[in-house]
Structures are given as C-alpha cells and as structure tokens.
Chains A and B, each alone.
Chain A
C-alpha cells in the first residue's frame, strides 16, 4: 500500500497548469525526493498533499484512504514543513513547539515529554529556553522540522528542507532525515538540486512543468540519466531526410538541426547508439561524424527535464 498516492492530480492557477495529471505512488517507509527546477510544481504538489490547497481535479490517497471531507482527520497523519520558516516573535523554542502541540490537541503531560524528545532529536536541547528569533538558519530549519513532528505523523512532507543551509547544516539535516527514515516514516522532500537528493533518497521523481517526467527507485533513475546521451551527427546529404528517420527511432527524445549537424537527445547504451548509426547508413544517409556531446550529469538531468524552465 502506498503512503501517499495521487491519481491524475491537477491544479490550475488561472490559465496556468501548475500540476498536470500527476500520478505519484510513494510506498510506506520510503524517502522520496521530488526534483525539478524552480516553478515546476513541487511546492504546489506538496501543499495539495498537506491539504492546504484544493486540487482542481484528481484524487489524493493517504495510507489508502481517499482525501475528501475527512481531510482534517487525514492531516493528523501528515507533518508538513513549508519551504519558509515562520517565526513568532517573543516565543521561546519550547513554547513554539508547545503551541503546535496544543494545536494538535496533545494533552499536557504528553506534550512536555514530546517537546523534550523532539528537541533532543533535532539537537536543540540546550536552546530550549532561547528565543526563536535568535536561532541560526540551520537551527530554525531543524526547529521547523520538529514542529512537523509533534503529532508523530506517519508521513512527512518537507519542502526544500536543505535550501539555504551551509554545508555543515546540510549534513546535519541529512543525518536527521536518515534518522527519520530509520524510524519508519515516509518522507517526501523536494529540491531543485539533484545531488542533494541522490545521497539521501531511496526513490526520486523528476517533475517538470507540472508533469512527472520520471519516477522510480534512485538506481533506476540514475541508470536512465546515465543512459541519456546527446549525440551530434554531421550529415552530408539531405538534413530533413535524416531528421525524419531519426525521430522515428526508439529512444530518441528530440532531434534538432544545429548548423549543418543534427543534435539528438537519446536514451540508450552504446549498442543502441551503434544501432542508430546503422539505421542511418541503411537509409543511405551520408554521415560524416557521429559523436556524443554532453556527459555532465546535471546537464543530462536538465535535458531529461527538457530544461525549459531552468
């Protein structure tokens, strides 16, 4: 059973489709990373999952239960950490957590225990009686994470948990997330930095212009990314003819004429590339050069997500 599942989820702001036909399935206990450039619809997706935004159409299932009138109840199974951190002036760290614990209606004696446990978990134990506004950015981020945990949710939605953190704080955040994963929680986090998620997640989904481009276990995605090539083919004969042949081949995502050559985005290993060349030759296309251009992982990722927004 999926902890979080969406079926044809859509969200439109005016004429802009922020999220389009999103089908997401995150199994329980998995650290799932949502990658995409800014404006791809990551935050919109997470806000819909947190019940803060109504989908234009489509369905969300939390632990197998469809979200509709009961979304207030289902919110109790979800902890949400927004990509910004709201500070209440004049509140102490423990009061901040106490406030959110009260919002979830946790009784007094349990509240006290939960707060000290959480402060230990996020390593803010000695900051218990400090004012929230005096915390550093990394500490605030961890406190914000702690606030999403006061009701011991099964599912955590973290929007850009590592953004704006220095390397040290980033490492601390990563360790914290690993710990949560070890506790058996399902974590969905978003980022626009691929490497950030690669070290952390069990599975990733790549989102681009509101659509899920690729989704699956990290190894599979990594393989797909490694298999993605951009070929530059110099053709001496009719360029349009070659373009037409190439675009019909399996694994070819995009063919674009550049000067007197063709740039081809292609997914497949070296054998598949060789097959491609063979097809061209068999069709009497005169090929002067056949070479791979981009090998950089980041660049390939951007290609995969068409790179139109980034």
Chain B
C-alpha cells in the first residue's frame, strides 16, 4: 500500500526518480567489463588507420596534379572520416537496437516487466536512449580525431557541425528502425537481418535507382530520387568540401554519381541542398515508425487506439510539419526567393541593365561542375545577404575562371 501511494501517479511523470530504470539496467550491463572500451578503442584505431591511408592517398593525388595544397588534403581527410562515421553508425545502430525488444521477449523477461508498473512506452524510450547513448559515444569519440583536419584547413567547424547533426539524426532513425523490427518480429535474428537490409536499401537503393534512370533514359536523374539516401544527404551537407576531386575518397568509391546532386543555380533561385529535404524525410520516418512501435510493444489492445492517442499523434505530426514549414519559410530568401525578394532588382523582374544579362550565368554553371573549393558556394546555405545576385555572378565567374 505504501508503494502505491508513493508513486501511483499515472502518466508520463510516474517515476519519482526521473531516471528510466531500463536505461540504468542497459548501461550497467553494456558498459560493464572491457568489452565496451575495447570496442571503442578498436573503432578509433581503425579510424586512425583509415585517416592515415586517406592522407597518403590525398598526398599522392595532389602530387600528380601539381597541387599539393594543404586545404585539399584536409578536405579529403574530412570527407573520408565523415563517411567512415556514417558507415559506423549504419553498422552499429541496428546491432544494438534490433535485439532490444525481441531480446526481452526471448529471454522471457518481457512478462516480468509487464507485471510491473513500468509502461511499454518507457521500455521503448529507455531502450532507444540507452542504445543511442552508446552510438553517440562512438560518434563523439571520433570528433577529437576528426578535428585533426583543422590543421590542414579547408574545412570549417560549421561543416563538421552540419555533418555531425545529420549523423545524429541518422543514428536516431536507424535506432528506431531497429526497434521497430525488433518489436514487429519478436525475434532478434530476423529483426537484425531486416534492419540491415532496410538500412542498406536506404543507403544504396536511391543511388542505384538514380544510376539506372540516368543510364536507361539517358537523362539527368530526378533529384528527389536521392533524397532518402543518407549517402547523398551527408554528401550535400559537406558538398562545399567534398566536391574537391583531388584525393577525394568519394571519387574512388562512388565515381561521379554525386555530382548529379547539385542543381544548377538558376536566374531566380538557388536550389536548396539535398539535406534540406532529407532531414524532414528522416524526421517524419522516425516519428511515424516510433509511434507504430509504441503500439507494437503493447502486450494487449495493440490496435485499440483511443482518440486521445490519435489526437496526440496527429498533434505531434502537425507540430513537426509546422517546424519544417517554418524552417523552410524562414530560409526562403536564401533559396527560392533569392532572386525574388532581394533588394537588388533581378533580371527576372525585367530591369535590364542593372545586372548582367542572364546569358552570362546560364552556361556558367554546368550541371556537374564542382564548386570551387575555398568558397563555400551558394548551395551551402550560407546567408546570401542583401545582394544575392552579385554573389551569384561572383560564383558564376569563379567557376568560369576555374
């Protein structure tokens, strides 16, 4: 009776401790012994070795072009490291989440948990947080090492932050995908296999689809095709850095496939970088899968969803779309409205003579021309400010000169 009066409050704030018991338990068992630290050390050693190889590669290729420029080495290193981290996130996250729910069911501890006042939703969130804290540890542990690239230059902290944010969003998404399958199948083996298949499909499916369209139809593949792929999205966050073909590891691995991502700068607008679409897509997928999984972990009345829950789900989705909408709206003068809303008149508004004729810009930026390296370029999302058109012209000129 005492326990009941102490903490019988239903709802989200039921536990007086505030710490989800699942997190405590998971961290206790996962971080015990040498295993966790050995894994971390191994991964860091692997990344260090990879960086050294990348460094040598970059050095070798700059030697041939006669451009042994430090920033280019830094950019090649950075690109390689960021994609290694993507590989790491893709490899580790499903492994630590795909067994989270099914493992409890297989060990027959799920019933014991269900008999306690711990709610299925808390189990799910505890599992997600504890699994992700491990993945984040791996990601953030590599940050100090990645910071070596600042010695070489060519990469701004902003590039690193953008890449990290995307990696974290991806880790959350992969984690939720693993949990979803874990709860759906109730078997760790099957959940693991299907999670990896899904992650692989997300990574490479769009790339192959894009490649197939370009080969079969002999046209530039539609840009939206690449939105779901974390590879393309990550590439677009660091495109100002990664478009450097000198010693860039991506050019060895993926050929020229990524060059199709950057849209030409038109007269009236600057295209948004791909990750502007990828992030909302990932966020939506994560939210929807998480909400479905919350039903899947219920022991009974799985699909008997009360209107309260339904309203909450709709509200969350609405808030999410509002946030995305606001983000798009607040940055619109940098992209869609770059030509329309600027203080400087544009050629589109039929004011010839104020700016150079569009003819100068049109051919200047071929579809697959790499952006010049030291200049973050318009696709980067850097504030264009009051005179976007001048900026455009500058960029165009820069590319032409190059």
Enumerate chain A interface residues (CB-CB to B < 8 A).
47, 50-54, 72-73, 75-78, 80, 82, 84-91, 95, 98-100, 102-108, 147, 151-152, 154
Contact = CB atoms under 8 A, between A and B. Distances in A.
A84 B107 CA distance: 10
A91 B111 contact: no
Contact of B107 (A72, A75, A87): A87
B25 A105 contact: no
Interface of B: 1-4, 6-8, 10, 14-17, 19, 21, 24-25, 28-30, 32-33, 104, 107-119, 299-301
Contacts of A52: 111, 114-115, 299
Contact of B17 (A72, A84, A100, A105): A105
Given A50-B115, A82-B108, A102 B28 contact: no
Contact of B115 (A51, A54, A73, A152): A51
26 contacts: A52-B114, A52-B299, A72-B10, A73-B10, A76-B4, A80-B115, A82-B115, A85-B108, A86-B110, A86-B111, A86-B112, A87-B109, A88-B109, A95-B25, A98-B24, A99-B21, A99-B24, A102-B24, A103-B116, A105-B3, A105-B14, A105-B16, A106-B6, A107-B6, A151-B3, A152-B2
Contacts of A84: 108
A144 to B, nearest CB: 8
A103 B113 contact: yes
A105 B2 contact: no
Contact of A91 (B3, B14, B29, B119): B29
B15 A105 contact: yes
Given A100-B116, A103-B117, A154 B1 contact: yes
Given A82-B111, A91-B28, A99-B24, A108 B3 contact: no
Nearest to B299: A52
A147 B115 CA distance: 11
Secondary structure type dominating chain B contacts? loop
Secondary structure type dominating chain A contacts? loop
B309 to A, nearest CB: 14
A86 B108 CA distance: 5
B274 to A, nearest CB: 42
B78 to A, nearest CB: 37
A87 B104 CA distance: 9
Contacts of B112: 80, 82, 86, 100, 147
Contacts of A75: 115-117
Contacts, number: 99
B4 A73 contact: yes
Nearest to B21: A102
Nearest to B5: A76
Contacts of B111: 47, 52, 82, 86
B25 A91 contact: yes
Contact of B117 (A50, A72, A154): A72
Given A51-B115, A52-B114, 11 more contacts: A73-B8, A75-B117, A82-B115, A87-B109, A90-B28, A90-B32, A95-B25, A100-B112, A102-B24, A105-B17, A108-B17
B307 to A, nearest CB: 15
Nearest to B6: A105
Contact of B7 (A85, A100, A104): A104
B300 A76 contact: no
B108 A53 contact: no
A152 B3 contact: yes
A84 B104 CA distance: 13
B387 to A, nearest CB: 60
Contacts of B30: 90
A87 B25 CA distance: 13
B8 to A, nearest CB: 5
A149 to B, nearest CB: 11
Q: Which of A88, A89, A98, A154 has the most CB of B within 10 A?
A: A88
B2 A107 contact: no
Nearest to A157: B115
Contacts of B1: 77, 154
A85 B111 CA distance: 10
A134 to B, nearest CB: 14
Contacts of A147: 112
Contacts of A51: 115
B245 to A, nearest CB: 48
Nearest to A86: B109
Nearest to A151: B3
A105 B117 contact: yes
A47 B112 CA distance: 11
A81 to B, nearest CB: 9
Contacts of B25: 88, 91, 95, 99, 102
Contacts of A80: 112, 115
